[in-house]
Structure 1
Amino acid sequence: MCGIVGIFDMRGKRDIDRQVLAGMNESQHHRGPDEGGLHIERGVGLGHRRLSVIDLSSGQQPLFNEDGSVVIVFNGEIYNFRSLMQELRNLGHQFRTNCDTEVIVHAWEQWGEDCVKRLRGMFAFGIWDRNRKTFFVARDRMGIKPLYYAFLPDGQFLFGSELKTLLAHPGMQRVIDPCAVEEYFAYGYVPEPRTIYRDACKLSPGHTLCMRVGEQRPVQKPYWDVPFRPHAPAAEKDVAHELDIRLRDAVQSHMVADVPLGAFLSGGVDSSAVVALMAQANSEPVNTCSIAFDDPNYDESEYAQQVAKQYRTRHYSEVVDKDDYDLIDTLARLYDEPYADSSAIPTYRVCQLARKRVTVALSGDGGDENFAGYRRYRLAMAENRVRSLMPSALRKPLFGTLGKLYPKADWAPQVFRAKTTFEALSRDLVDGYFHGVSTMPDRVRAQLFSQKFKHQLQGYRAIEVMREHASRAPTDDPLALIQYLDMKTWLPGDILTKVDRASMAHALEVRVPLLDHELVEWISGLPSEMKLKGAEGKHIFKKTLEPLLSRDILYRKKMGFSIPLASWLRGPLRDRVRKALLSERMADSAIFDMGYIRMLIDQHQSGQNDHSTALWSLLMFDAFLANTTPARPDQVARAVKQSQLVDIT
């Protein structure tokens, strides 16, 4: 697990500034505190920070082939590297190390751009092939490992593991992309492939980017997608048996390491499943880590203790104050762009705890997306059944009117909070799902943004991200479609980003066996009724796990990694919210209607309405502004004409 950077001159003629490259590399020292390395030749510079996990004595990067004509920097783990190494040896390749990095070098020599199709793991890498005059970058299928890039006006290509690496280059302009701002306040993060800055992008999961010296246009293309290809009909017991085999294979493949290894254990279904399977695959006790909250409304540590006792793990737990809000500025510096998932705070803390004991930790992330575990899937399917009962010509005006007239009743019992449901029912499945998951719905963003900023957006709306993905979805099954949308947006943009930044801040490698691409492919082909059965999500997953975990673990109400945002913003953060959100900095951004922000604060702090999600999103945006040096509003305005820069294909 590492951090990578690079500079490539598309013209292939100019020298690379060593000091600039070294600065980019050192900006992510936290990702790889064990070693650092640079390679520079005419037109190419590569940098690497290493966290040693496999083949500790060798495998330093940048790493070369035998004659030095191919060089790579790589971040991640390739779980099938030993079988690939043997296959490549049989084809005549010679190896100097026992590390997975060298396997990618020889795989590139043997299979070229198709080498990524042979890799099982999480990865982001850049390869320079001097003989072919080709520069090639790639990102893993699910987006577990990040890769940011930018093309500078002078023809230089930059890439790195974090956005801060690009910002360390003096040629990188910090002009905010208005469309990214709209997307952030809709999703709570900036979805792939945009970043908050106009001139920087994220390489989308399952994509490669290939450049050749002298060619003006790089070629970006996908090499994989979640297939959602239905399996032949099978009995539930046979599916559960096959799933058990595949889960064990995925977990065991992710346990290869030459350093201390453990797992996160929250007490939820997914992390408990991973720990149970690890324990059965290992004769030594598993190291498990969890955090407990001092408020029982947010604490599920008793369930983690139950699993730890059942499988005799070496369990480490620490109690975290529920009012652990001092990380706001730290998180802003970690993420480099606005990021509003408040569970980043407990995630940061559990990674901090885990690093005291292990270097590698397995996580249960991906279970909800694979097996339809989120409550919002049940709601979306219920809404879709209602949609099917009446024609859109009747449904849209009826529920649209009800949505406009019905009050936003945050104070009322859940059954009476129907405004969002009515609004969703007036839309189609994709628009309704977007509306349901938005941190700020359209009607709120319409009032939040200033008239000047809305003019700059030129009518762009964040729903276009989901519509674009839906247009290419390989399924028309309603549940599978929204799972697909989450795998393209929420999973890489929020969940995996959160875990990567929180873990790498502590030089901890986190692996996600439930997102092994072979497992994901197979699960995607299961019938939707095996995933969401009535009101029960993860049906087949839980049935498969019944011999391993108690019903208390499998069938209790999902809690999640939540924190008391509403009370924070009315209590200990009350003054900070008002001072930060009504500051000159926010006003000078020219993005917001400051009167509307004041109203949100007043209504929330008086208890009239719960605007905690909106206020937290604004607070994290202000923290981003305070910890970066974005362009002035007039620069933003000039950039708008060029802001439609991203081709999502």
Structure 2
Amino acid sequence: MCGIAGIFHYQTVKPVDPRRVERMTDALAHRGPDGSGVWTAPGVGLGHRRLSIIDLDGSPQPMHSAHGRAVIVFNGEIYNYRELRRELERGGARFRTDGDTETILAAWEKWGPDCLSRLDGMFAFALYDLDRRQLFLARDRLGVKPLYLARLEGGALAFASEMKGLLANPLMRREIDPLAIEDYMTWGYVPDHRAMLKGVEKLPAGHFLLLEHGREPGPPRQWWDVSFAGREKGRTEDLSAQLLHLMREGVTSRMTAHVPLGAFLSGGVDSSSVVALMSEASAVPVTSCSIGFDVESVDETQYARQVAELFATDHHERIVSADQFGEIDRIGAIFDEPFADASALPTLRVCELAREHVTVALSGDGADEAFAGYRRQIFHAREEQARAVLPRGLREPVFGALGRLWPKADWAPRPLRAKTTLLSLAASGEAGYARALSILAPEQRERLYGETLKRERGEYRAEQPFEKLMRDAPARSGLDRAQYADLKFWLPGDILTKTDRTSMAVGLEAREPLLDHRLIEFGARLPHRQRLRGTTGKWLMKHTMERYLPEDILYRQKQGFVTPLSEWFRGPLAPEARAVASSELLTGSGWFARKALSRLADDHISGRSDHGRVLWQLLMLERSLRHLGPTG
């Protein structure tokens, strides 16, 4: 795992100052503490920071191909590189190293951009072909590894693994994009179709960009997508056998490393399944790492301990205080862009614990998106059944009116919190699912925004690209479309961003075996009944893992990392809530209405309403604006 950065002059071939590239890579030193390198040629510069995982001493970067035709900087792992090497060797390729980086170079020289479909792994890389005078930028299928792009004055494109790499370039402009604030206030993160700074882009997952000197860059080209349009056929036990085979392949392929390797273990279905299959494939005890909380109601260490004992892992756990708010500024610096998923705090803690024992850790990310494990997906499937029966002409006036009148009862038992469901049923399936996934609905955002943001936002609403993504999905049902949107929008924007930044912040490589693309493609073809049965999501996966895991691990209610935001903002963070409400960064710009923010903070601190999640969102935005602002 590594950090990459570079500069490419596409307009006029100009020399690249290697010190400028070096400053960009130095900003990414946490991603690669084991080595660094810079290479420049007329019109191009590539930089690299290395975290050594495979071929520890023999694969420094930037790396030249055997014939000197191409140079690469690479962040990630290619899990099938040995098979690819053998195929390439049969075609005459020769290798000087024992790593996966050189395999990408040889694959490019043989297949060009088509080499991407042959790579099984997580990656973002930049490859310069000296013969063709082209720069090839590519990102893996699901967006496990990030790549930021920025156009600079004078016809150059800069790129880096994190935005802080771009910010180290003195030519970077630091102008906040107001549309990114609209996106962030809706989702709690800035999705991949936008970045917090104007002029910055993220190369989308499953896309590549091919640049040439003397030509304006075109749009990124998609090289992979997942389709929900087909359906697997066969008996449940046959499908279960296929699923188990694919899960085993995903796990074992990601156990290749020349450094200590372990796993995150929360005690939930996904991480427990990964540990079970790792233990089956390993000749030595698996190293597992868990964190718990000093509040019993949110602590799941007993389940993690149960799985650790079942598979005799070398288990490490740490109990941390639920009061982790001291890391606010650190989280802001780690993510650059505002990021309001509060589970980033405990995720950082488990990464820190894992790094004390291993350099690579396998996670359980991806199964909920692939196999319908989220509660919102189950609710959406039911709502779609209702939409199919009730005509929209009836739903809109009846459910819309009821939804607008129904109180927003955050304090009430879950079955009585019907406002979101009623408003969702009044809308299309796409709009309803966007409402279910968002933190703030359009009418809630409208009450917080100042006149400046309303004017600069214009007709744009954050739900528009999300709903279009669902409408255009290669899918057959509403559930298919919801899962497609989760895989393409939520997964790279929230889940994978969180895992990448927190693991890389401590020099740990995180791998996601349940995001093996063959497993994802298989899950997308499963019939509904193999995904959802009653109120049970991920049904086939849970059924398949019954041979490994006990019932209370497989079928208890999903917990996840819980952070007591509401309590914090009524206790030790109450001054922060009031400070955010009067922040010049938020209100002085006219982006937010000062009175609305003050009322939000007062109502929460007094206990009249629960706005803990929104206050956290505003606090992380304020910290990000401090970090990204013109003064840096």
Write the letter of the residue equivalent to 2:41: E
* 1:577-615: CA deviation from partner (whole Å, max 9, x where unpaired): 112331223222321011111111111111111111111
Whole-Å separation in 2 of the counterparts to 1:481 and 1:463:
15
* 1:66-121: CA deviation from partner (whole Å, max 9, x where unpaired): 23221000000000000000111111111110110000001000000111111000
1:628-647 maps to which residues of 2 (within 5 A)?
628-630=628-630
8 Å Cα contact 1:182/1:461 also seen in 2: yes
CA drift at 1:389? 2.3
1:246-645 maps to which residues of 2 (within 5 A)?
246-630=246-630
Write the letter of the residue equivalent to 1:251: V
- Number of residue pairs matched by the alignment: 632
8 Å Cα contact 1:11/1:43 also seen in 2: no
Write the letter of the residue equivalent to 2:426: S
Report the 3-state secondary structure (helix = DSSP H, G, I; strand = E; otherwise coil) of the residue aligned with 1:404.
helix
1:209: which partner in 2? Answer: 209
1:38: which partner in 2? Answer: 38
* 1:130-151: CA deviation from partner (whole Å, max 9, x where unpaired): 1001111000000000000012
1:10: which partner in 2? Answer: 10
8 Å Cα contact 2:434/2:467 also seen in 1: no
CA drift at 1:470? 2.0
Which region of structure 1 is more displaced relative to structure 2, 152-161 or 498-507? Answer: 152-161
TM normalised by structure 1 equals 0.96
Write the letter of the residue equivalent to 1:10: Y
1:71: which partner in 2? Answer: 71
Report the 3-state secondary structure (helix = DSSP H, G, I; strand = E; otherwise coil) of the residue aligned with 2:135.
strand
1:156: which partner in 2? Answer: 156
Report the 3-state secondary structure (helix = DSSP H, G, I; strand = E; otherwise coil) of the residue aligned with 1:546.
helix
Whole-Å separation in 2 of the counterparts to 1:320 and 1:366:
26
TM normalised by structure 2 equals 0.98
* 1:430-464: CA deviation from partner (whole Å, max 9, x where unpaired): 10000111111111101111122101111100011
Write the letter of the residue equivalent to 2:625: L
* 1:227-256: CA deviation from partner (whole Å, max 9, x where unpaired): 224244211111111111111111000100
Write the letter of the residue equivalent to 2:123: F
* 1:518-541: CA deviation from partner (whole Å, max 9, x where unpaired): 111111111122111111011000
Whole-Å separation in 1 of the counterparts to 2:233 and 2:604:
52
Structure 2: tracts of 5 or more residues without a match: none
Whole-Å separation in 2 of the counterparts to 1:288 and 1:581:
42
Which region of structure 1 is more displaced relative to structure 2, 593-602 or 497-506? Answer: 593-602
CA drift at 1:479? 0.7
Write the letter of the residue equivalent to 2:21: L
Report the 3-state secondary structure (helix = DSSP H, G, I; strand = E; otherwise coil) of the residue aligned with 1:388.
helix
Which region of structure 1 is more displaced relative to structure 2, 391-400 or 258-267? Answer: 391-400
CA drift at 1:160? 0.7
1:22: which partner in 2? Answer: 22
8 Å Cα contact 2:33/2:50 also seen in 1: yes
1:647: which partner in 2? Answer: none
Over 3 Å counting, the alpha-carbon distance change for 1:412 and 1:219 in structure 2 is closer
Over 3 Å counting, the alpha-carbon distance change for 1:452 and 1:12 in structure 2 is closer
CA drift at 1:7? 0.4
Write the letter of the residue equivalent to 2:53: V
Whole-Å separation in 2 of the counterparts to 1:460 and 1:231:
36
2:122: which partner in 1? Answer: 122
Deviating beyond 3 angstroms after TM superposition, the runs of 4 or more aligned structure 1 residues are none
Report the 3-state secondary structure (helix = DSSP H, G, I; strand = E; otherwise coil) of the residue aligned with 2:337.
coil
1:28-107 maps to which residues of 2 (within 5 A)?
28-107=28-107
* 1:390-442: CA deviation from partner (whole Å, max 9, x where unpaired): 11011111111111111112222222221111111110111000011111111
Write the letter of the residue equivalent to 1:27: A
Write the letter of the residue equivalent to 2:477: D
1:645: which partner in 2? Answer: none
8 Å Cα contact 1:230/1:527 also seen in 2: no
Whole-Å separation in 1 of the counterparts to 2:105 and 2:95:
10
CA drift at 1:219? 4.6
CA drift at 1:16? 0.5
Write the letter of the residue equivalent to 2:23: G
- Find out whether 1:240 has 2:237 as its counterpart: no
Whole-Å separation in 2 of the counterparts to 1:499 and 1:307:
22
Whole-Å separation in 2 of the counterparts to 1:377 and 1:128:
42
Write the letter of the residue equivalent to 1:341: D
8 Å Cα contact 1:267/1:303 also seen in 2: yes
Write the letter of the residue equivalent to 1:259: V
Write the letter of the residue equivalent to 2:521: E
Whole-Å separation in 1 of the counterparts to 2:525 and 2:386:
26
8 Å Cα contact 1:64/1:70 also seen in 2: yes
Report the 3-state secondary structure (helix = DSSP H, G, I; strand = E; otherwise coil) of the residue aligned with 1:476.
coil
Write the letter of the residue equivalent to 1:138: A
